[in-house]
Amino acid sequence: MKPFILLGVRPEQAAADDEYAAFARFTGLGSDLQRHAVDREPFTGDPSDYAGIIIGGSPFNVSDAAKSPQQQRAEDDLGQVVDIALAEQIPLLGACYGLGLMARRRGGVVDSTFGEQIAAVPVSLTVDGRADPVFGSLPEVFSAIVGHKEAVSTLPADAVILAGSPAAPVQALRIGPAAYGTQFHPELDADGLHVRMTTYRDAGYFDPQEADAIMALARATDVTHPPEVLRRFVEFARAFSPA
């Protein structure tokens, strides 16, 4: 059976380790989930060796006007993985930064129009989302944790919206039959959010003076449904056969 891999893009070790632990837990893969830190070294593997590929979040933005050599190399490297996965119909899931990267590679527009401060927000499935094999088992409206400076403002031509929210019309999409992207963080619960907020306290994702209030709201909100996306993605990827 082919393995799954998380391609991480977080230079901050604490956040990177916690992100991996969350994906490993909520996918149900545990330590069988492989990982590679693309921000540290190029990914030289063959995407077709994997049953599914996950691209996580990042402090990088694909719409940044100026990019460090590290950021540009990681983006180019991941872009090649996205291109191959889409061309060969290898199951792919991009979360937050991963979504933006996927959308931009396919000609979509990713900018600051629909950025959101860190919060737990209501997300609604679209008609396509309700019929989707990965998203269809979710409630029509569920809460999820968001926090992003950029988002998809114009869809790629071959993408369909699976979920949206009042402040961000594209909270989830599918490109082709097997590539998924979420703007919300399917791997985040309140404990994970605490790690992120501690790591990125001064990175502009939220007002540090509101940190306690944001955490209190997150702990009081049911965010148990987004992780179902990860479990369902694994089930989908294992059963998927390219056309």
Annotated catalytic residues are 96, 185, 187
Residue 36, both tokens? 């590679």
Q: Which amino acid is at 41?
A: E
Rounded to the nearest 10°, the torsion over CA 215, 161, 84, 40 is -20
In the numeric block, the tokens 């998203």 are attached to: 135
Rounded Cα distance, 176 and 159, in Å = 7
State the pairing for strand pair 172-175/179-182: antiparallel
Distance between CA 182 and CA 152 in Å, rounded?
A: 10
Site of tokens 């927000």? 121
Q: How far apart are CA 146 and CA 169, in angstroms?
A: 13
Q: What share of the chain is helix, strand, coil (3-state, %, to 5)?
A: 35, 25, 40
Using the 8-state DSSP alphabet, how is residue 241 labeled? -
